[in-house]
Structure 1
């Protein structure tokens, strides 16, 4: 039988990077607001210097590049934690709905990515709760899926808004179009704040319970060793 693999460090790294994403989201909100203010000045007939416009563009590009890099790395570490958690659960539960590979692959398949990761996360919570409730008499905690629905809804909204901002900003040329793109970016960043907070909670909640699976696994192995020993004949 395969052994459960440690997942606590992956959870810590994923949470740390989500906090970094959250920090950059807040910085991005401030930067987008400054850009919005400049665009409104121009739209109302005001004047801004070329240096001011150049500095604004440079600031937005730097923040954008940093955000993209941290966001991608954060996504990778989250998926690594997610896949490892589902892998460990597979060792303990023989009736899961999907293979362990889907915990990573489902994020990248069109259409399926809109619902499959959510299904796996719910199953991760629910099946772990069921296993511990039935096999660990000392287990008294409640691993609720209440926040998972909010997590997934915010993730979908954030993803759709992000795609809109990216595509719209590429063709935005007029002041009105630039204002629309900036406002959409502001909204996306604001939504990113509760999304980050709930994602951290989802990881933390499961990570606090997951070690009990290790104890359950060890307990079963110890029991098996005892049972096998009892079956051996006693030599005189």
Structure 2
């Protein structure tokens, strides 16, 4: 039984850590821009505003770059995990392995379908209880990751629309404040994705090496 790759998992963890740092950098630049806009109007100059805004835009570019890298590595890991977990319990899956990639690219449905694949993978990796034992691996890593991911994606779209429509300094300040919350949630989402990936990989490797049944020692 093939084991989930620890090397790919390490790469996924590293790129999500970089993405979280990029999100926190965006928070810093957003706070800096908002303090400048909301500060003393007499001390506000065009050059200082342009400088703060340019730094904020650069932070956004860093976020885009790290997000794209996260997407490529995570979807690759997600697909390979689907193939490996499918060998453990083929009857647990409602969709074929290709959906581990395709589900991310269907508008609107991509807010739900990848979660279904993740739930099926989690169930396939969960060990079966032995006779007289009722053991179930908690689902909270899956639910936490997806709840943060889907919620932050929707809030991020709303924040982007608010920022694009902002015409006055007050509207820019409000949009940046909303983006601060989004960026913090993005950092939390990166952490939750790492927890999910690490826990699922550990479950797959445990079940592939020690068998399908749960024992107190194996748990």
Q: Same fold (TM over 0.5)?
A: yes
**Correspondent of 2:78 among 82, 85, 91:** 82
Structure 2: gaps of 5 or more residues: 212-219
**Correspondent of 2:147 among 150, 153, 174:** 153
Aligned to 2:206: 212
Structure 1: gaps of 5 or more residues: 218-236
Asked whether the equivalents of residues 5 and 84 of structure 1 are also in contact (C-alpha less than 8 Å), the reply is no
Distance of 2:39 and 2:113 partners within structure 1: 45
- Within 5 A, what are the aligned runs for 1:63-102? 63-95=59-91, 96-102=93-99
Q: Secondary structure at the match of 1:196?
A: helix
Distance of 2:48 and 2:18 partners within structure 1: 28
Asked whether the equivalents of residues 4 and 201 of structure 2 are also in contact (C-alpha less than 8 Å), the reply is no
- Which consecutive segments of 4 or more residues in structure 1 shift more than 6 A? none
> 1:133 offset after TM fit, Å?
2.7
Aligned to 2:165: 171
Q: Which has the larger radius of gyration?
A: 1
> 1:214 offset after TM fit, Å?
4.1
Q: Secondary structure at the match of 2:2?
A: coil
Distance of 1:5 and 1:162 partners within structure 2: 36
Distance of 1:88 and 1:123 partners within structure 2: 12
Asked whether the equivalents of residues 4 and 204 of structure 2 are also in contact (C-alpha less than 8 Å), the reply is no
Tell me the C-alpha RMSD between the 2 structures. 2.2
Distance of 2:9 and 2:42 partners within structure 1: 50
**Correspondent of 1:57 among 46, 53, 56:** 53
Q: Does 1:8 align with 2:6?
A: yes
Q: Does 1:33 align with 2:22?
A: no
| Structure-2 change in CA distance of 1:134 and 1:88 (3 Å) | farther
